Amino acid sequence: MDINWLIDFVCLGRTLNFSRAAEERNVTQSAFSRRIKSLESWVGTSLIDRSSYPVQLTPAGRQFLGTAQVTLAQLTDARQAIRAAEHSKLPQQRIAALHAISVNYLQPRLSEFAKLIPEMRVRVVSDTMAACCQLLTDGGCEFLLYYRHQHVEPILDETRFARKDICNEDLIPVAQQNAAVRNGWTLGGPSNRPVPYLSYDPDTFLGSVVDRTIGGRETSLDVRYMDALAEALKRQALAGSGVAWLPAFSIAEELTDGRLVRMGGPSWTAHLTISLFCSPDRLDPVGRALWQAF
């Protein structure tokens, strides 16, 4: 038995898609399929019904999924406790968060919380939406901070966890002021000039949000640069390279001093919610204090 088989199976149980699960696990689809087959051989029965699309878990698969999730969570908890004991430290509170949330929202809050909870020790894991959700599902973190949007389907089974909606944040189309004025960049409607577009990777959550916000409207946006990280797009925007949709917390100073300006009207702005998730029964006293502090 390989622990990676369990992680693979939990990922497939969430996505119900071999290619998407293989991509999230950073392996080829053929290698991923072989590992699922190996797990089925170890269990002794089929766990996946491959005759339908999307694939479905068999009754045995649904039964085994819960066992796999609990096993991974227990292994992670045991590893953390052993490591903490070895280093004579209190357990860390592990928080998974999207890069943009970690840099622009979480870091200032943690400084506040350190004054309220002196014994708090925190490890922040900044990664993609899929990776962060997988960490919480597998028990690899106590808390998850991520964006939610009314028109983008969450990839996390939110019914399994407690949730707090912390605050709202806008995703605003912006450009460097001088570049926007000099080049006559506008959003919406036909234009004789293409507007250089600094785009999120289409497979990212923020990329999906921007796509839904633009919708079927006619634009002159021309993709010139693509990145998964909001901070990378922000640097490009400040350099005058084009228009980017950026989280409001990350550009508050630049909007105030005029280095960046809003593009388009209110309908071009996406409204996000920053939500906090956890499994309350897995929190220690410090974790419960941190949950209350948010």
Same fold, 82-165+273-293 and 169-272: yes
Is the per-residue pLDDT at 84 higher than 70? no
Of 85-89, 127-131, 183-187, 196-200, the one with minimum mean pLDDT is 85-89
pLDDT band at 127 (very low <50, low <70, confident <90, very high): confident
Q: Which of 131, 132, 129 is nearest to 142 (CA)?
A: 132
Residue-wise pLDDT tens digits, 184-200: 998 876 666 889 999 99
Residue 174 corresponds to which tokens in the numbers above? 């912006």
Q: Which of 61, 75, 74, 125 is nearest to 99 (CA)?
A: 125
User: Which of the pair, 80 or 279, is modelled with greater confidence?
Assistant: 279
For the domain made up of 82-165+273-293, the CATH class stated in words is alpha beta
Residue 245 corresponds to which tokens in the numbers above? 């949709």
pLDDT band at 169 (very low <50, low <70, confident <90, very high): very high
Is the per-residue pLDDT at 110 higher than 60? yes
pTM for this model (two decimals)? 0.69
Residue 56 CA, chain-centre distance (Å), reads: 25
pLDDT band at 80 (very low <50, low <70, confident <90, very high): confident
Residue 42 CB-density burial (10 A; 0-12 exposed, 13-18 middle, 19+ buried) = exposed
User: Which of the pair, 210 or 192, is modelled with greater confidence?
Assistant: 210
Dihedral sign of CA atoms 273, 123, 161, 2 in order: positive
Residue count of the chain = 294
What counts of helices (H) and strands (E) characterise the chain? Answer: 12, 11
Q: What pLDDT score does 153 carry?
A: 80
What are the residue boundaries of the structural domains of the chain, listed by start?
3-74, 82-165+273-293, 169-272
Is the per-residue pLDDT at 251 higher than 90? yes
Across the chain, mean pLDDT equals: 89
Strand partners, 176: 260
User: Distance between CA 172 and CA 272 in Å, rounded?
Assistant: 11
Dihedral sign of CA atoms 183, 190, 265, 147 in order: negative
User: Distance between CA 144 and CA 106 in Å, rounded?
Assistant: 11
Strands (E), 18-142: 48-49, 56-57, 93-98, 122-127
Is the per-residue pLDDT at 88 higher than 60? no
User: Distance between CA 210 and CA 171 in Å, rounded?
Assistant: 8
Q: What pLDDT score does 134 carry?
A: 86
- The topology under which CATH files domain 3-74 is Arc Repressor Mutant, subunit A (1.10.10)
User: Distance between CA 178 and CA 185 in Å, rounded?
Assistant: 11
pLDDT band at 85 (very low <50, low <70, confident <90, very high): low
What CATH number was assigned to the domain covering residues 169-272? 3.40.190.10
Percentage of the chain modeled with pLDDT above 70: 95
Is the per-residue pLDDT at 90 higher than 70? no
